[in-house]
Structure 1
Amino acid sequence: MITRWLRESVVASVLLLIARIYLGWKWLDAGWHKITGGFDASGFLKNAIAKPPVDSATKEAIYPRFVSFLEHFALPNAKLFNFLIPWGEFLVGLGLILGTFTVVAAFFGMLMNFMFLLAGTVSSNPWLIIFSILILLGSSNSGRFGGDYFVLPYLRKVFKIKRGSDSDTARGRA
């Protein structure tokens, strides 16, 4: 019931707009500071490898595969991550603020939040994930007051995608 309301209600789209702008600003601001401030991920990566989240009883890393990923892929390719993280944050924020590819932007923002959590950084990540989940649940209604209003119908037409399910067609929303 709540999902249907989030996906169809105009009131929900206004609330999602507020959440989207807040979340977008957080991402855009974080990305811009990294782009203009000379971001280097290698210190964060080294710390995440040296001090991963551990189980208090066993003193073993909770996410050993993620630590291995950081050690064997992310750290050797730190220059790639020095580019991907700031620009990813900036573009996620831009997409959310403009309301263009809103669900895609929220998904990739949430993916970055989870990566930061897996590395042991709590900060505001859980709070931002909650906003992202709401935006994802709202689906295309999350971008109703934004670029998605124009972009999604165009993409549906170009790729000949029918909107909604059979139940939507039965209600006259095709």
Structure 2
Amino acid sequence: MSWRESRLMQVIWTVIRVYVGWEWLSAGISKTFGASSAAWVGPKAGAAVSGFLQGALAKTGGQHPDVQWWYAAFINNVALPNAKIFGYVIAWGEVLVGISLILGALTTIGLLAAVLMNMAYMLAGTVSTNPILLFWEAVLLWAGAAAYYWGVDRVLLPQWKKRRLKQGIA
């Protein structure tokens, strides 16, 4: 057993995983059920995303733009025309990532989704807590199974693998 898989590290990975999960869950809950939820998933769905993306587009100019031209093209051609869909995906995605990480259920998928969202936010020129969360998500991915030793995946994944072997799917 390596040091990253030791009992002490399993506890530390769990604390970090739950912290990152809480950050995602609280952000998602405010978008899904909070005062601003109407602009994310309610009758004005897409308004918050449109405002955020318009702000990102404003950061595309100058010698060293915060938002690169190719990401601005993605924003203009994909994200803005589908702002309502992106509003739902972002709000509920944050909730689901938070639940996944707090419970340690489908942890790797939750971490990969979190990395994807953090990268999207940072590519749009937003810093905030995103680099810190991205760092911890990468560390948890590196920790591997030790990151979810104290979680649902500890029971769920062996059962899933056993079923796959019974079905002859390796």
TM range (shorter): 0.7 to 0.9
Q: Secondary structure in 2 aligned to 1:145? A: coil
**In 2 relative to 1, CA 132–59 (structure 1 residues): closer, same or farther, beyond 3 Å?**
closer
Gaps of 5+ in 2: 41-47
Residue type of the alignment partner of 2:152: G
Q: Deviations over 1:95-151 (max 9, x none)?
A: 000010112111111111111000000000110011101110111211111101111
Matched, 1:20 2:17: yes
Shift of 1:13: 1.0
The share of aligned pairs that are identical, in percent, is 38
**The one of 131, 151, 154 aligned to 1:126:** 131
State the TM-score, normalized to the length of structure 2: 0.84
Shift of 1:45: 1.0
Matched, 1:30 2:65: no
Matched, 1:41 2:38: no
Q: Deviations over 1:58-95 (max 9, x none)?
A: 35565211110011100000011010000000000000
Matched, 1:111 2:116: yes
State the TM-score, normalized to the length of structure 1: 0.83
Counterparts of 1:16-165 in structure 2, within 5 Å, are: 16-36=13-33, 37-38=37-38, 39=40, 40-52=48-60, 58-59=63-64, 63-160=68-165
- Deviation larger for 77-86 or 135-144: 135-144
Residue type of the alignment partner of 1:44: F
Residue pair 1:103, 1:142 contacting (<8 A) in 2 also = no
Residue pair 1:103, 1:136 contacting (<8 A) in 2 also = yes
Give the root-mean-square deviation of aligned CA atoms. 1.9
Residue type of the alignment partner of 1:24: G
Residue pair 2:67, 2:124 contacting (<8 A) in 1 also = no
How many residues align? The count is 155
